[in-house]
Structure 1
Amino acid sequence: MRILLIGAGGVGGAFTRIAARRDFFEALVVADHDAERAERAVRTTCERHPGERRLRSARVDASDARAVQALAREHRATHVVNAVDPRWVLPVFEGALAAGADYLDMAMSLSRPDPAAPHARTGVKLGDEQFARAADWERAGRLALVGMGVEPGLSDVFARYAADHLFSEIDELGTRDGADLRVLDEDGREVFAPSFSIWTTIEECLNPPVVWERGRGWFTTEPFSEPEVFDFPGGIGPVECVNVEHEEVLLMPRHLDARRVTFKYGLGAEFIGVLKTLHALGLDSTEPVDVRGARVAPRDVVAACLPDPAALGPRMTGRTCAGLLVTGRGTDGAPREVYLHHLVDNAWSMERDGAQCVVWQTAVNPVVALELLAQGRWSGSGVMSPEQFDAVPFLDLLTTAHDAPWGLQERVPA
């Protein structure tokens, strides 16, 4: 396996350091529009793994499918991994296909709300533009494994595991994400600093959330709808979670039988307030505006003003939890409710791989998936998603190879 990684930011850097621990690939080229950032990801990885000779860095424009194609061919890449913002999903996706490589991403092509009823009907949904090319990937005999991060990704693996091994009938597949993370400044005071790309966070939190229900299909609601207090394990405790737009709701109903599919994120009152303010001021817009003769997108300005999530690790404390709440009837026919989850402590991920916990938890899952593909334990062609594959080898490898066990918490059915 020869991997071309597009994107050397927080997730890309963590991916490189995690992958270097494993021997399933023969080459990994780390590419970014910022050549120095790509070089730094390789250099810091090699410092942690003396003697590592499989890594190279390169420069690439992820917005240019032909540039991605050319770089993949130059390095004889068998697999292209997309670790850039979702606005560049399609050119990387198309470039990989043109190069004859398999493809894997952690976020899918962007949605476009219904112009007439954005909070009632879906428009172009997350991933629609990728699934529209499924026949082309099948004809080429190539695999595009989409949504293979933590959420989406591991949450979808949990859904497949629950359907195969825990439930005879599923009422709801409800992804629930929460944390107790704190970021401190040099004086030890807590500061506002999102632990993931603010560009992506704004996109998913301010777009109309999508819900799926049997007999109704996909529909949208108002942002931050259906608030609920969810009690997260591992000492995190109760966190208010709200509906946001996310890929799981677009993926799980395609292949798994459930009455309802949702995604709720534990944002907290302060974060929701900031997002609402950004929206009210138009600072969430991606349309460039004129600023003293320069054309800039307000959302890019917001991102430039905030700390780089990849650099927050030394100033961050706490844990992050990604998981799936499944309700329905167990294999014995009795009511059952379980929370399948994965916890990562920031101190642990920083010590292990020098990556803050949110990006580490995202990056480890594509590494696991690639190793299963290299072994032939996962295989396929076309545009596919994680719940289409056997969950057991994935969960086993995550636990044994990466010291990152998952948990199953039984809950009292409502």
Structure 2
Amino acid sequence: MGKALIIGAGGVSNVVVHKCCQNPDVFEEICLASRTKAKCDAIVASLPETKTKVTTAQVDADNTQEVVDLIRSFQPDIVINVALPYQDLTIMDACLETGVDYLDTANYEPPDVPKFEYKWQWAYREKFKKAGITALLGSGFDPGVTGVFSAYAQKHYFDEIHTIDILDANAGDHGYSFATNFNPEINIREITANGRYFKDGHWVETEPLEIKKVYDFPQIGEKDIYLLYHEELESLSQNIKGIKQIRFWMTFSQKYLTHLNVLQNVGMTSIEPIEFEGKQIAPIHFLKAVLPDPASLGPRTKGKTNIGCIFQGRKDGKPQTYYVYNICDHEEAYREVGSQAISYTTGVPAMIGAMLMLQGTWKKPGVYNVEEFDPDPFMDALNKHGLPWHESFEPTLLD
């Protein structure tokens, strides 16, 4: 059916390539490209036998012309960006120049400013519309599936949704004293930023991890959850009708937060460069280099994740509550594709989004977040491709 250029060769990319190759009728040919070609080759070497033709290439995703040259050489129908969020715009520029559809899993973030905003990518709406190509933003889990869950709830169970609480729980244990489950730099920048949530038409800002609650999650039990800002709040606050409040919560163990606090206190999480032995280096870049590679956590991580959304609103004039969530097992994910559940829950939705675009199901010129499309085919695909969801109409609510 189509050809996909996949840029990036980390844990999420590994999942995307494996899941695309499980669907060779849709993904007939793949080119996997990264700054380090050897990483691409290692992913390809780990693949089971597949009818999908897979090749690799070297590309610097910071360089639009290199991406343009690769696109023109391979001639894909879609570019799946699972590189770093800093590279979103250069890859979008390359897609514009070559007239190819685009998909990513995380919004653009300037390297020197820890801001998670869609404004830079939303500014491309008219350009993509004029070029007749589609850009699908944030087709991971959160953002991604959480947006699909929201659109699904709005379509089927509510006349109006008043509140959304997004809950991201990881009960996995990798045995290290301190490690991050995805890119350490992105992860730490996200956690150490101020919290923010949407309420009554405006944004309320909090200190980092200021607001804490305890929630009893299906299958993984009670966990400490902390209010963070997450990019899907920005798009959902605009795209879900009647919304009065939307918050994002993530679990952290006390051990993790103690380590993070110490690292922050001594300046190791700073993105401001310092001079060291005659070179400029951001402390967080050095920290990233000494922490375990997230891609290495797969074989040693046990436990489950639980990510979902709790909705409150009204249906037929009556109050309605609805909770929809997915549970993913780290060890099962590793057995299937060689990556832990954090990468799996991001990589599977990226494949599904790309599949729906290639099939023409999710396709219209412009730049869109996932909740702007019909959620039903995506929800069906989650059940078929490894991320089955569960629902409850009487969940425990957060005050």
TM-score (norm 2): 0.94
Change (3 A) 1:125 1:311: closer
- 2:121 corresponds, among 130, 150, 157, to 130
- Partner of residue 249, structure 2: 264
- Partner of residue 150, structure 1: 141
- Partner of residue 221, structure 1: 206
- Partner of residue 42, structure 1: 44
- Partner of residue 300, structure 2: 315
When the two structures are aligned, how many residues end up with a matched partner? 394
TM-superposed deviation, 1:333:
3.3
Counterpart of 1:237, as a letter, is G
- Partner of residue 9, structure 2: 8
2:339 & 2:354 partners in 1: Cα distance?
Answer: 20
Are positions 1:103 and 2:102 aligned together? yes
Runs of 4+ in 1 over 6 A off after TM superposition: 111-114
TM-superposed deviation, 1:124:
6.4
TM-superposed deviation, 1:200:
1.1
2:238 & 2:50 partners in 1: Cα distance?
Answer: 45
Are positions 1:289 and 2:274 aligned together? yes
- 2:313 corresponds, among 328, 343, 349, to 328
Computed over aligned residues only, the root mean square deviation of the Cα atoms, in angstroms, reads: 2.0
Kindly provide the CA deviation profile for residues 23-58 of structure 1, in whole angstroms up to 9, marking residues without a partner as x.
20221111111110011111211xx1x254511101
Are positions 1:380 and 2:379 aligned together? no
- Partner of residue 344, structure 1: 328
- Partner of residue 90, structure 1: 89
Bigger drift between 77-86 and 32-41 goes to 77-86
TM-superposed deviation, 1:111:
6.5
TM-superposed deviation, 1:336:
2.8
Counterpart of 2:263, as a letter, is L
Counterpart of 1:409, as a letter, is S
- Partner of residue 59, structure 2: 60
SS at match of 2:46: helix
2:146 & 2:86 partners in 1: Cα distance?
Answer: 22
Counterpart of 2:103, as a letter, is L
1:208 & 1:221 partners in 2: Cα distance?
Answer: 6
SS at match of 1:167: coil
- Partner of residue 155, structure 2: 164
Structure 2, unaligned runs of 5 or more:
none
Change (3 A) 1:125 1:219: farther
Bigger drift between 382-391 and 86-95 goes to 86-95
SS at match of 1:220: strand
TM-superposed deviation, 1:285:
2.1
- Partner of residue 120, structure 1: none
Q: Are the aligned partners of 1:113 and 1:124 in contact in 2 as well (CA < 8 Å)?
A: no
Are positions 1:197 and 2:197 aligned together? no
Change (3 A) 1:233 1:110: same
TM-superposed deviation, 1:304:
1.0
Q: Are the aligned partners of 2:86 and 2:111 in contact in 1 as well (CA < 8 Å)?
A: no
2:283 & 2:159 partners in 1: Cα distance?
Answer: 48
1:408 & 1:62 partners in 2: Cα distance?
Answer: 39
Counterpart of 2:155, as a letter, is D
- Partner of residue 305, structure 1: 290
Structure 1, unaligned runs of 5 or more:
115-122, 185-189
- Partner of residue 30, structure 1: 32
SS at match of 2:33: strand
2:210 & 2:154 partners in 1: Cα distance?
Answer: 27
TM-superposed deviation, 1:279:
2.5
TM-superposed deviation, 1:389:
0.8
SS at match of 2:159: strand
Counterpart of 1:390, as a letter, is D
TM-superposed deviation, 1:278:
2.6
- Partner of residue 251, structure 1: 235
Counterpart of 1:74, as a letter, is S
TM-superposed deviation, 1:270:
2.3
1:129 & 1:57 partners in 2: Cα distance?
Answer: 30
- Partner of residue 19, structure 2: 18
Name the % identity. 30
1:273 & 1:93 partners in 2: Cα distance?
Answer: 38
Q: Are the aligned partners of 2:116 and 2:230 in contact in 1 as well (CA < 8 Å)?
A: no
- Partner of residue 206, structure 1: 192
Q: Are the aligned partners of 1:210 and 1:249 in contact in 2 as well (CA < 8 Å)?
A: no
Q: Are the aligned partners of 1:111 and 1:127 in contact in 2 as well (CA < 8 Å)?
A: no
TM-superposed deviation, 1:269:
2.1
Change (3 A) 1:193 1:215: closer
Bigger drift between 138-147 and 224-233 goes to 224-233
